[in-house]
Chain A
Amino acid sequence: MERDIELALVERLRRGDPNAFDDVYAAFNTRLFTFLVRLSRRRDVAEDLLEETWLRLVKHARRLGADTRLGPWLFTVARNLHVSYIRSRMLEDSTAASLIALWPFSLERSSPFEAAAASELERRIERALAAMPAASREVLLLVAVAGLDHSDAADICGITPEALRQRLHRARETLSKVLERDTEAGAPAPRGITSCPIR
């Protein structure tokens, strides 16, 4: 989104213009949902968090700074809502995990993308992403999938750009290793992945 268009949208949002909301919604809804569903690995959770993100924007519309950058603002809210959700579920999950451990077979669920992925390669990437730790997954999603620049992604995650660079490096390394392991196990190699230098 062009900066002057974005500034005009922010001004209209501050004045409470519903058409400005529609424009922002059209520009970011799919990107936010894609980020949230891959981060949470659950459609229902992602839809709840997405709705809450938009409600936060509306409730804060009049208090937005005139120079607010909508993309980073929305992704920060979405990411923080996901962190709150994870914290609230932690106790519940640890109890559930101890019960599941007693179950005689694995109850691992596939991410919603795995089933829908069009190709084997996409399926493998989705599976590898879903298996990564949340902190690694979120930086990959913000930078590589949502296309945010490093400084915005660092602000969204609440870390320094240097910390983000390191986290991104580790995340890409992990993802490459998982894909390589898959290849060794018999899956076709994605072109260029195994030989790519990881920075």
Chain B
Amino acid sequence: MSDPLTRLLAELPPAEPDPLRAERTRRGCRALLARQASRAPATRGLSADRAAMRVWELLIAGLGVAYLTEVIVQALQVYGLS
């Protein structure tokens, strides 16, 4: 598209936003991005801790079930039901 109308539109002067506000926006966004980046490793550490906790919970639950099963088996043997 290189007709005169398109050329005229392409040559319209650009607009500049208020420099003070633009600078405030840029700084705010930079800070937010940096905060997000610094939070990211901490979040990863937190999820690793959670996974370890979950393994322990499952292990303890498994041992509890085994213990209760053994108690029931022993009780049935004592009463001569097994």
What count of chain B residues pass the 8 Å CB interface test? 30
Asked if B12 and A118 sit within 8 Å, CB to CB, the answer is no
Beyond A17-B37, A54-B29: 10 further Cβ-contacts under 8 Å? A18-B30, A18-B33, A30-B14, A46-B17, A55-B28, A58-B29, A125-B9, A145-B9, A172-B5, A199-B3
- Residue from the list A61, A121, A192 in contact with B33, Cβ < 8 A: A61
- Map CB proximity to A onto B43-75 as digits: 1 under 8 Å, 0 otherwise: 000000000000000000000000000000000
- Chain A positions within 8 Å of B, measured between CB atoms, are 13, 15-18, 21-22, 25, 29-31, 33-34, 37-38, 43, 46-47, 50-51, 54-55, 57-59, 61-62, 112-113, 117-118, 121-122, 125-126, 140, 143-145, 147, 172, 175-176, 179, 190-193, 196-199
- Flag whether B15 is at the interface (Cβ < 8 A): yes
Asked if A33 and B8 sit within 8 Å, CB to CB, the answer is no
- Flag whether B80 is at the interface (Cβ < 8 A): no
Which residue of chain A has its CB nearest to the CB of B22? A29
- Chain B positions within 8 Å of A, measured between CB atoms, are 1, 3-6, 8-10, 12-18, 21-22, 25-26, 28-34, 36-38, 40
A170 to chain B, nearest CB (A): 13
Asked if A118 and B8 sit within 8 Å, CB to CB, the answer is no
Q: Which residues of chain B are within 8 angstroms of A143 by Cβ–Cβ distance?
A: 1
Q: Which residues of chain A are within 8 angstroms of B18 by Cβ–Cβ distance?
A: 43, 47
- List 15 interface pairs A-B (beta carbons < 8 Å), by A numbering: A13-B33, A15-B37, A17-B33, A22-B30, A25-B26, A37-B15, A38-B15, A47-B17, A122-B12, A126-B12, A144-B9, A145-B9, A172-B5, A193-B4, A199-B3
For the complex, what is the distance from the CA of A193 to the CA of B5, rounded to whole Å? 6
Q: Which residues of chain B are within 8 angstroms of A121 by Cβ–Cβ distance?
A: 8
Asked if B5 and A175 sit within 8 Å, CB to CB, the answer is yes
Asked if B34 and A16 sit within 8 Å, CB to CB, the answer is yes
A155 to chain B, nearest CB (A): 18
Which residue of chain A has its CB nearest to the CB of B3? A196
Asked if A21 and B30 sit within 8 Å, CB to CB, the answer is yes
Q: Which residues of chain B are within 8 angstroms of A47 by Cβ–Cβ distance?
A: 17-18, 21
Asked if A21 and B8 sit within 8 Å, CB to CB, the answer is no
